[in-house]
Amino acid sequence: MSPHHRHAARDNGPMPAPADHRTVAADRHVVPPPFRAFAVRSEEARHAFDARAPYGLVHLVRTAFLDAATRAGLAAEARARVDVVSFPDINHACTTWAALAAAAPRAADLAGSLAGALQATGVLGDGHAAYRQALATRIDCLAACGAGFHNDAGRHWSRCLFWVLALEVDDLEFVMPHAGVRLPLAPGDLLVFDPALAHGLCRPRDGGQAVAASFTGAGAAPQFFLTGELVLGDAQWAALGAPWLAVEEHERRGALDLTVAAFDERSGAVQRAGALRDGMKRSTCHLDGEPTLTAGTAPA
DSSP characters over 157-223: GGGEEEEEEEEE--SEEEEETTTTEEEEE-TTEEEEE-TTS-EEEE-GGGTT---GGGGSSTT---E
Question: Count of H helices and E strands in the chain?
Answer: 6, 19
- CA distance linking residue 189 with residue 202, whole number of Å: 16
User: What are the phi and psi torsion angles at 159 (to 5°)?
Assistant: -110, 20
Average pLDDT of the chain to the nearest whole number: 89
pLDDT class of 189 with cuts at 50, 70, 90: very high
CA distances from 48 to 79, 255, 286 (A): 39, 16, 6
Question: Is the confidence at residue 179, as pLDDT, over 80?
Answer: yes
199-202 sheet: strands from edge to edge: 147-150, 199-202, 172-176, 181-185
Beta-carbon contacts of 103 under 8 Å, excluding residues fewer than 6 positions away, are: 73, 74, 76, 77
Query: Taking residues 202-215, what's their average pLDDT?
Result: 96
pLDDT class of 37 with cuts at 50, 70, 90: very high
CB 107 within 8 A of CB 99: no
Q: Identify the CA nearest to 213 among candidates 225, 200, 202.
A: 202
What residues does each domain of the chain span? 28-300
- CA distance linking residue 196 with residue 154, whole number of Å: 9
Question: Is the confidence at residue 4, as pLDDT, over 80?
Answer: no
- CA distance linking residue 223 with residue 138, whole number of Å: 20
CA dihedral sign, ordered 91, 94, 98, 99: negative
pLDDT class of 219 with cuts at 50, 70, 90: low
Question: Is the confidence at residue 298, as pLDDT, over 50?
Answer: no
pLDDT of residue 8: 35
Task: Specify the pTM.
Answer: 0.89
Secondary structure class of 153 (helix, strand, coil): coil
CA dihedral sign, ordered 177, 271, 210, 186: positive
pLDDT class of 260 with cuts at 50, 70, 90: very high
Pick the CATH number of 28-300 from 2.40.128, 3.40.1350, 2.60.120, 3.40.50: 2.60.120
Tens digit of each residue's pLDDT (9 = 90 or more) over 82-98: 989 889 989 999 999 99
Percent of the chain whose predicted confidence (pLDDT) is above 90: 77
